[in-house]
Structure 1
Amino acid sequence: MATALIVLAAGQGTRMNSDLPKVLHKVAGAPVLAHAMRSGATLGPERMIVVTGHEREAVERAAREVDEAAVVVEQAEQLGTGHAVAQALPALEGFAGKVLVLFGDTPLIRAETLRALADSTADITVLGFQAQNPRRYGRLITNGSELQRIVEFKDATEQERSVTLCNGGLMAVDSALLAELVSDLSNDNAAGEYYLTDIVASARAGGRSAAVVTCDESETLGVDTRAQLAQAEAFFQSRARAEALENGVTLIAPETVFFAFDTFIGRDSIVGPSVVFGPRVTVESGAEIHAFCHLEGCHISRGATVGPFARLRPGAELAEDVHVGNFVEIKNAVLGEGVKVGHLTYLGDAHVGEHTNIGAGTVTCNYDGVMKHRTEIGARAFIGSDTMLVAPVRVGAGALTASGSVITEDVPDEALALGRVKQVNKPGLAKRLFERLRAEKSRRQKEAK
């Protein structure tokens, strides 16, 4: 059956104590909203409708980064979830199929759970969970396998509050039925809002069927506070670590490794303690990331080693068997097969040919204060320690730069380049200078007394 998604993302989230809408706070490097939309996208929906409100333009930008074709509608007044869905109904015109209503502040919903909702044969299917502490959740009132109604906590009787099957918020409804039921909603309740949850009782009164799909409580976690944001991050990381281990990745200290929403690591790779993955990182099989590395927007090929204490920034491309050592930073640079960058080096806006050795303290001076410039280093070159490569510049294949050189001109293939001032020794001058400095220090100390 065809599916469409309505993602509710209009709330401000005042309890976040933030100028940023709650759905734009990040979990694993991506806005909370993006997580919900990506989970929903696994269903291959015909339409993705995002309902915005607070900071509408910022939320719309975030939604379009996930799905350029998303239809964005505005809920100018926040009058409840039923009212929010009503704003989305015009965007469903001409659609026939199952509509899933998701919440943009619920980042942990699994694709499998959404599939179960979409595949349900009931007229209305609601997501539920068994709560360890039901607190102020809405309750799902059932009769055997049939869902009778959803009761908000503030409207529930004491008997209804004793129920532990709670409302996870998400639901799946036939598109025509959804429009019919939403149009009949009333705001005659304690909050004066139009509750989407009321459509269950209305549907049952009209002889329609209603069912419950259950999931783990953690999947339904909504992010309304900073504490819940931290909790969502912790749940995500725990899930991601378990998945990496299951997929054949060695995590030496799993609890210290942090993944982004899209991190990919091939099997038989090894990740050391305290490694942080930002967005858009791919690590091929058999690579090793040592402790205390920070990686973002990079690609690491089979057999490469990185770190410890290395930073790979966006555009870093490491070919097979590359070695990037401690205190090395790589940005927008391609390192060919077998390149070695041992320590204390910055390579930015560069291309390094295969099997080249980069000495300690090498810097590609890529920025002139206005524009960036590239450095090209050929295959099997040797860059001496403390070489400053002032871009734009090219060092040829098999060339060598002397330690301490400042390279401002192209170096031909197989040439030796020396770009440093000739050393001059002044006999006895060091001693005389130290004597003068010590005398001056002594004088100042006496004056201070």
Structure 2
Amino acid sequence: MSDNSSKKVAIVVLAAGKGTRLKMDIPKPLAPLHENTLVDYVIDTFKDFGDITLVTGHQRELVEEHVNKKFENINYVYQKEQLGTGHAVQTYLKDFENSRGYDYTIVTCADTPLITKETVSSLIEEIEKGSNAVCATFTADNPTGYGRIIRKGTGFQIVEEKDANDDQRQIDEVNSGLYIFKTLYLMDHIFNLSDDNKSGEFYLTDTFSPEANVTPLLFEEPREFLGVNNLIQLSQADIYLRRSIARYLMLEAGVRFTDPSHTYCYSKNIGQGTHLFQNAFIDDKTVIGKNVIIEQGVTIKNSIIEDGAIIKANSYITDSKVSNGASIGPMAQLRPGSNIGEGAKLGNFVEVKKSNIGKKSAVSHLSYVGDAEIGDGVNIGCGFITCNYDGANKNKTIIGDGSFIGSDTQMIAPIEIGKECYVASGSTINKSMPDGSFAIARGRQETKEGMAKRFIKKKTDK
């Protein structure tokens, strides 16, 4: 919206569809896109422009329950019978108490998740020039299925596919399904609609006519108007979403992609100089700092990766934090609640859960760290295990700064190892250790000379 605009805007989201062609046992607005739903993206785009009302219908309880969990101040109107887009807007104007209290009314669909805030601003700026209504349009390579834009003089009308003649079907400028109206104009025209057409529905598009001072606003990028009606289009929406994010990151944020078409990045919160390799998956809740390396096959969800960290191939990170300059993997897993300190190193096949690993500590390979507090500068050898679960409760392991824990060591929690302790390899430790102490807990080795031949079995010739 322009800075000097003080107009009140209502947004009507048509969300009554069943979505039969999606072949899902959920209402169409709740079809999944990344880790959200179609309607989530629509609401998130429009919420800063005005008050949102959803026109719900099929399985309305599920739609409204979902939306109420994620957003505040959303209004609802129930369209009992789905008799067309015009009927949906009629229902809104009749049943929403304050529908007439807005200067402008935007109408959009719950199945168009890629519309941008910039496009909405453009519509508002256009109608502020004096039009009664503005329709967003685009040019389609294959216009089949879309309503055609029939320009006449300074105005236009929209003819739906089923009602178009052969000449009109050749037109490639099409209706996007996104509109803005002066509310008074909408009220004057919406209740005069006829269902005398091949679909037997009340078309919202019939409110546009060449004599009515209405404007078709042509947009160059058709992808953002993609409507999701089947699983192919749902997949396309996901691809377009990722491409737009990758484009932004490369052009505006200085993020390098080895192969953006095969990188599954949904976060825009990534710092300059970071390098994303192919087949990495990064969700939209993750924040990544500057000069980070994310190697191939990495998955990161709802986590913070700070400047200069390296996440090596095929590592999996969830609900965790990796501090500056830390190195993770390859093939490591950080489960929820993991906090990896500055300059720390976790090697291959290391799993960490609900634990803090201190600065410049190392858990190099083949280890499990659960419910633990590991201090700064600790070195943990191969095959280390915190035995944190006693069958009923999770118990804590604490290891102090500067300690050395040998390979193949088990810690029977709850247990506390002091600072600068040394635990010999192959030990099972079940008693706490004071600062500076040494512990060894393993069976004594006995060597019997010449006895090996009793145990070594040789192959017999056949």
Pick closer, same or farther for the CA change 1:423–1:218 going to 2, 3 Å: farther
Structure 1 counterpart of 2:331? 327
**2:72 pairs with one of 48, 51, 68:** 68
CA shift, 1:177, in A, is 2.7
Structure 2 counterpart of 1:132? 141
**2:162 pairs with one of 140, 154, 157:** 154
**2:183 pairs with one of 166, 175, 178:** 175
Whichever residue aligns with residue 33 of structure 2, its letter is: V
Whichever residue aligns with residue 167 of structure 2, its letter is: Q
SS at match of 1:102: strand
- The question of 1:14 aligning with 2:20 is answered yes
- The question of 1:248 aligning with 2:254 is answered yes
Long gaps (5+) in structure 2? 1-6, 389-394, 429-441
Kept after mapping to 2: 8 A contact 1:310/1:326: yes
Bigger drift between 285-294 and 398-407 goes to 398-407
SS at match of 2:46: helix
**1:387 pairs with one of 367, 384, 387:** 384
- The question of 1:422 aligning with 2:443 is answered yes
**1:51 pairs with one of 48, 55, 58:** 55
Long gaps (5+) in structure 1? 366-373, 443-449
- The question of 1:192 aligning with 2:200 is answered yes
Structure 2 counterpart of 1:25? 31
SS at match of 2:119: helix
- The question of 1:259 aligning with 2:268 is answered no
TM-score (norm 2): 0.85
Bigger drift between 116-125 and 59-68 goes to 59-68
- For residues 191-270 of structure 1, the aligned pairs below 5 Å read 191-201=199-209, 208-215=212-219, 216-246=221-251, 247-260=253-266, 262-270=267-275
Separation in structure 2 between the aligned mates of residue 431 and residue 403 of structure 1, nearest angstrom: 30
Whichever residue aligns with residue 149 of structure 2, its letter is: L
**1:38 pairs with one of 41, 44, 50:** 44
Larger relative contact order, structure 1 or 2 (CA cutoff 8 Å, min sep 6): 1
Separation in structure 1 between the aligned mates of residue 446 and residue 78 of structure 2, nearest angstrom: 75
CA shift, 1:75, in A, is 2.0
TM-score (norm 1): 0.88
Provide the alpha-carbon RMSD of the alignment: 2.4
SS at match of 2:24: coil
Kept after mapping to 2: 8 A contact 1:3/1:118: no
SS at match of 1:327: coil
Identity %: 26
Separation in structure 2 between the aligned mates of residue 430 and residue 222 of structure 1, nearest angstrom: 75
Pick closer, same or farther for the CA change 1:217–1:145 going to 2, 3 Å: farther
Alpha-carbon displacement from aligned partner over 1:295-319 (angstroms, at most 9, x marks no partner): 11111111111111111112x1111
**1:118 pairs with one of 117, 124, 139:** 124
Separation in structure 2 between the aligned mates of residue 191 and residue 430 of structure 1, nearest angstrom: 89
SS at match of 1:264: coil
Separation in structure 1 between the aligned mates of residue 344 and residue 187 of structure 2, nearest angstrom: 62
Separation in structure 1 between the aligned mates of residue 21 and residue 403 of structure 2, nearest angstrom: 61
**1:109 pairs with one of 112, 115, 118:** 115
Kept after mapping to 1: 8 A contact 2:249/2:268: no
SS at match of 2:142: coil
Larger proportion of helix: 1
Kept after mapping to 1: 8 A contact 2:10/2:99: no
Separation in structure 1 between the aligned mates of residue 369 and residue 190 of structure 2, nearest angstrom: 62
Pick closer, same or farther for the CA change 1:65–1:209 going to 2, 3 Å: farther
Separation in structure 2 between the aligned mates of residue 429 and residue 120 of structure 1, nearest angstrom: 94
Whichever residue aligns with residue 158 of structure 1, its letter is: D
